[in-house]
């Protein structure tokens, strides 16, 4: 790399800052066809693009980098051309990623380890950023495959992303605050992988067992993410990462509610219903946070909306379950009436008007057995019975 320092992009930018345009021209090994002004403008654009990439403003880097390409392409310095073209592809890949074109993004963000190391000479930390965004692009591809119901391809892309994150973790230093964003991306994306499978596969198949396993598998990552959130600089990435722990808690609530409704088949207790109500509040908060990420959060927002609809349906199911006591009320009442009539026939053996009164009394009693407090809706029948009893008493 010493040769690059003496004659290359880094040296050219430094010389241009000092006003030594001829030195910059020599460092880039440029032909004389470009004026000093054109060289200065190209180097200013390159500096701006590199600064954008270094300061997490990746989407702003593409235009200034492209603006400098005519001068870069005229250079006889192969290292400079390689570096800038790789950076242009990288910035363009991020544009595709954030606009939702996952497959094109994955192609452009597939920066080799050798290329990342060479670029890291000009942009410290680029190697880490390259691995990070390469993994993110694969996650985006996996989501696209899942939406196309190509589960095998989705699992393959997720597996490749996991391998990249394992490589990335080996390069990160937990004592370096500048690596906080990369750590957060690793932990957050691991949760997002589980989240995608839960919303697309497990909930649709009502596979509550797998739902619980996926939550358990990413719980440690969510806890690590929560601890590192305070170290992230304020901005879209911080907001997106803050949405994940909130979403995790909401998923726990939905998982438990599904167990109650689908497996235990019982109504919600008061505390359980309140927990499910709070799930909607958490999902709303998570959605607000994720909206700051623009196109990158498109799939996440769609899945959040699906969960909110599921939460509303679960509340309705829980209310219906709470009324299940009366679902078989008619059958229970009929059985109780028959039993009472048999007992009366074998014991009291009423006749005439008394038989009618005993029948009405047995009917009212069987309705209470079948419907409980719900039997109050049969009050008119009770009034008829009480009037008849009073009339029969007066006759006596």
Q: By the 8 A CB rule, do 334 and 371 touch?
A: no
Confidence (pLDDT) at 219: 94
**Contacts of range 122-125, beta carbons closer than 8 Å, 24 or more positions apart:** 122/9, 122/10, 122/50, 122/83, 123/50, 123/53, 123/54, 123/87, 124/54, 125/54, 125/178
Instruction: Give the domain-ending residue among 271, 287, 322.
Output: 322
- Is 127 a member of any domain? yes
Confidence (pLDDT) at 178: 77
315 and 214 in a common domain = yes
State how far the Cα of 378 lies from the Cα of 318, in Å rounded to an integer.
26
State how far the Cα of 97 lies from the Cα of 173, in Å rounded to an integer.
27
- Is 390 a member of any domain? yes
188 and 52 in a common domain = no
335 and 315 in a common domain = no
Instruction: Give the domain-ending residue among 322, 346, 362.
Output: 322
- Is 159 a member of any domain? no
Question: What are the φ and ψ backbone dihedral angles of 386, each rounded to 5 degrees?
Answer: -65, -40
State how far the Cα of 179 lies from the Cα of 372, in Å rounded to an integer.
63
312 and 216 in a common domain = yes
- Is 110 a member of any domain? yes
382 and 263 in a common domain = no
State how far the Cα of 123 lies from the Cα of 173, in Å rounded to an integer.
18
* Selection from 152, 242, 139, 240 nearest residue 196 by Cα: 139
290 and 180 in a common domain = yes
Q: Which domain holds residue 56?
A: 1-149
176 and 135 in a common domain = no
Cα 2 → chain centroid: 46
Q: By the 8 A CB rule, do 13 and 47 touch?
A: yes
Give the number of C-alpha atoms closer than 13 A to the C-alpha of residue 270, restricted to the C-beta side: 0
Residue 110, Cβ density class (10 Å: 0-12 exposed, 13-18 middle, ≥19 buried): middle
- Is 307 a member of any domain? yes
266 and 140 in a common domain = no
Q: By the 8 A CB rule, do 251 and 199 touch?
A: no
Instruction: Give the domain-ending residue among 291, 322, 353.
Output: 322
116 and 182 in a common domain = no
Instruction: Enter the tokens of residue 13.
Output: 């930018």
| Distances, alpha carbon 47 to alpha carbons 43, 97, 112, 395, in Å | 6, 23, 23, 109
Straight-line distance from the first to the last Cα atom of the chain, in angstroms, rounded to the nearest whole number? 119
pTM (two decimals):
0.59
- Is 73 a member of any domain? yes
Q: How many domains does the chain have?
A: 3
State how far the Cα of 279 lies from the Cα of 200, in Å rounded to an integer.
19
353 and 307 in a common domain = no
- Is 164 a member of any domain? no
108 and 2 in a common domain = yes
State how far the Cα of 167 lies from the Cα of 127, in Å rounded to an integer.
11
The secondary structure of residue 8, as a DSSP letter, is S
pLDDT tens per residue across all 396 residues of the chain: 334 444 566 677 766 666 677 777 777 767 667 777 877 788 788 788 877 776 667 778 888 888 888 887 777 777 778 888 888 888 888 788 777 677 787 778 777 777 777 777 666 677 777 777 778 777 777 777 776 778 788 888 888 888 888 888 888 888 888 788 888 888 988 898 889 889 888 888 889 999 999 999 999 999 999 999 988 888 777 888 999 999 999 999 999 999 998 888 888 888 888 899 999 999 999 999 888 776 667 778 888 998 999 999 888 887 755 444 445 555 555 555 455 555 555 565 666 666 665 566 666 555 554 555 454 555 565 556 556 556 655 555
Q: By the 8 A CB rule, do 102 and 137 touch?
A: yes
- Is 337 a member of any domain? yes
335 and 311 in a common domain = no
State how far the Cα of 247 lies from the Cα of 301, in Å rounded to an integer.
11
Exposure string over 126-148, b if 16+ CB within 10 A, otherwise e: bbbbbbbbbbbbbbbbbbbbbee
């Amino acid at each position: 790399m010493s040769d690059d320092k003496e004659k290359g992009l880094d040296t050219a930018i430094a010389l241009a800052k000092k006003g030594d345009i001829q030195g910059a021209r020599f460092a880039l090994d440029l032909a004389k066809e470009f004026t000093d002004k054109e060289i200065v403008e190209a180097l200013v654009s390159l500096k701006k693009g590199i600064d954008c990439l270094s300061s997490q403003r990746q989407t702003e880097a593409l235009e200034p980098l492209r603006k400098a390409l005519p001068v870069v392409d005229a250079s006889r310095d192969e290292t400079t051309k390689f570096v800038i073209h790789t950076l242009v592809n990288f910035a363009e890949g991020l544009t595709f990623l954030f606009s939702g074109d996952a497959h094109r993004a994955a192609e452009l963000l597939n920066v080799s380890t050798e290329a990342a190391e060479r670029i890291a000479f000009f942009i410290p930390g680029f190697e880490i950023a390259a691995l990070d965004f390469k993994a993110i692009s694969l996650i985006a591809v996996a989501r696209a495959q899942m939406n196309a119901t190509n589960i095998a391809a989705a699992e393959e892309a997720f597996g490749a992303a996991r391998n990249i994150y394992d490589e990335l973790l080996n390069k990160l230093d937990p004592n370096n605050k500048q690596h906080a964003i990369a750590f957060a991306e690793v932990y957050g994306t691991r949760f997002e992988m589980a989240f995608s499978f839960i919303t697309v596969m497990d909930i649709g198949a009502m596979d509550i067992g797998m739902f619980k396993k996926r939550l358990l598998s990413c719980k440690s990552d969510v806890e690590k993410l929560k601890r590192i959130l305070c170290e992230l600089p304020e901005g879209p990435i911080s907001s997106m990462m803050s949405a994940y722990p909130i979403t995790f808690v909401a998923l726990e609530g939905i998982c438990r509610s599904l167990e109650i409704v689908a497996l235990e088949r019982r109504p919600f207790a008061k505390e359980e219903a309140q927990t499910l109500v709070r799930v909607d509040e958490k999902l709303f908060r998570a959605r607000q946070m994720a909206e700051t990420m623009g196109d990158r959060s498109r799939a996440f927002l769609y899945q959040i909306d699906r969960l909110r609809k599921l939460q509303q349906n679960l509340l309705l199911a829980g209310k219906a379950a709470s009324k299940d006591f009366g679902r078989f009320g008619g059958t229970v009442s009929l059985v109780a009436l028959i039993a009472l009539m048999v007992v009366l026939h074998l014991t009291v053996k009423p006749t005439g008007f008394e038989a009618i009164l005993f029948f009405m009394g047995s009917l009212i009693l069987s309705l209470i057995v079948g419907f409980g407090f719900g039997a109050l809706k049969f009050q008119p029948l009770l009034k008829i019975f009480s009037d008849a009893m009073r009339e029969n008493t007066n006759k006596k």
